[in-house]
């Protein structure tokens, strides 16, 4: 019974084996080269426009571009980046104007295979006018001709005062100014300023400055510096001070000073009846102290004289002796 069933199915078995054998023979040899892989890439078009007012905007000729936090450099506006791997990418760009970078917001761009996605930016701007003022302790104020500007921690270098920043991105910014007078460097405090679209913001940045006077005393014909001296400055007695003496917080204008000291039993004094101090400047004056009229107990200034016999006599050679000097006019 089983043998009859096998014989009945034998043609089907042979046909199946023949088909399998033909498939194996038809395959031939295996290929030596693998098929080329398909790279999943697309493109991004980046474009920037700057809007200065509701009815005025322009497109810069070139822009700087960041992709995924990496600065790619400056490119024509607009520009297309090809062979960008599919997926999400962060795109940002900027426009540079008078050493100032107008930065766009980040754009999350989704790139698809064999297609172009777009990152188009629009930066709205306003204007800012900054005035730097120098104030001294006496309420005097001047406006320097030029100042340095630091905006959002970036230096805009030196500009004419007041500083006019024609295009600044809408939003909050930080700004400070700096200048120098008579080799003294001054910087303002950093202030916040909010820029609104199509409007002009104004800001005054005061800098507190201090004029100073440096007083040095000499004696012995200006050859020897006094280590200390008494000082009267603008009729105010400062007592005995070390040399040189620095007085700060001085107002601009004319001032006076007088010094005195005592060497051995000699009293010396020096005067500077009038000198000018410039605004925010450091003024250096030198005062020479000389002998004043002697009083009882003071040593007389040393003196050398020639007698009628052409012999020279020095007063200090006769220290401790009673000296009688007789001055007369010869005829």
- Reported residue count of the chain is 331
Summarised one tens digit per residue, pLDDT across range 60-92 is: 999 999 999 999 999 999 999 998 999 999 999
Q: How far is CA 39 from the centre of its chain?
A: 48
pLDDT at 200: 94
Compute CA distances 165 → 111, 218, 323, whole Å.
37, 52, 81
Strands 41-53 and 116-135 come out as parallel
- pLDDT of 42 over the 90 cut: yes
pLDDT at 124: 95
- pLDDT of 331 over the 90 cut: no
Q: How far apart are the first and last CA of the chain?
A: 183
- pLDDT of 12 over the 60 cut: no
DSSP code of residue 284 = E
Query: Who wins on pLDDT, 284 or 136?
Result: 284
Determine the Cα–Cα distance for residues 127 and 129; give it in Å rounded to an integer: 7
Burial (CB count <10 Å: 0-12, 13-18, 19+), residue 280:
buried
pLDDT at 295: 58
Query: Who wins on pLDDT, 9 or 196?
Result: 196
pLDDT at 30: 55
Domains and CATH numbers, the chain: 41-124 (2.60.40.1120), 126-208 (2.60.40.2100), 211-291 (2.60.40.10)
Summarised one tens digit per residue, pLDDT across range 196-233 is: 999 999 999 988 887 789 999 998 877 889 999 999 99
pTM > 0.75: yes or no = no
Cβ proximity of 259 and 230 under 8 Å: yes
Burial (CB count <10 Å: 0-12, 13-18, 19+), residue 109:
buried
């Amino acid at each position: 019974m089983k043998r009859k069933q096998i014989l009945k199915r034998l043609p089907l078995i042979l046909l199946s084996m023949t088909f399998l054998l033909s498939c194996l023979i038809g395959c031939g040899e295996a290929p030596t080269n693998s098929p080329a892989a398909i790279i999943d890439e697309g493109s991004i078009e980046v474009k920037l426009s700057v809007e200065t007012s509701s009815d005025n905007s322009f497109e810069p000729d070139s822009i700087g571009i960041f992709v995924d936090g990496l600065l790619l450099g400056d490119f024509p506006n607009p520009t297309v980046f090809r062979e960008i791997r599919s997926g999400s990418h962060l795109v940002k760009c900027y426009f540079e104007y008078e050493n100032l970078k107008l930065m766009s917001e980040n754009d999350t761009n989704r790139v698809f295979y064999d297609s172009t996605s777009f990152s188009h930016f629009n930066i709205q701007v306003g204007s800012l006018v900054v005035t730097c003022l120098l104030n001294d302790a006496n309420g005097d104020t001047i406006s320097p001709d030029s100042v340095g500007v630091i905006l959002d921690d970036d230096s805009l270098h030196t500009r004419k005062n007041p500083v006019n920043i024609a295009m600044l991105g809408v939003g909050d910014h930080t700004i400070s100014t700096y200048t120098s007078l008579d080799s003294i460097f001054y910087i303002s405090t950093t202030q916040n300023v909010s820029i609104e679209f199509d409007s002009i913001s104004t800001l005054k940045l005061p800098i507190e400055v201090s004029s100073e006077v440096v007083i040095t005393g000499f004696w012995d014909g200006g050859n020897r510096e006094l280590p200390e001296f008494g000082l009267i400055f603008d009729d105010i007695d400062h007592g005995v001070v070390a040399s040189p003496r620095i007085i700060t917080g001085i107002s601009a204008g004319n001032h006076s000073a007088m010094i005195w000291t005592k060497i051995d039993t000699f009293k010396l004094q020096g005067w500077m009846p009038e000198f000018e101090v410039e605004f925010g400047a450091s003024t250096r004056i030198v005062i020479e102290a000389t002998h004043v009229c002697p009083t009882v107990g003071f040593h007389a200034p040393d003196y050398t004289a020639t007698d009628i016999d052409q012999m020279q006599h020095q007063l200090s050679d006769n220290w401790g002796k009673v000296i009688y000097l007789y001055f007369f006019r010869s005829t």
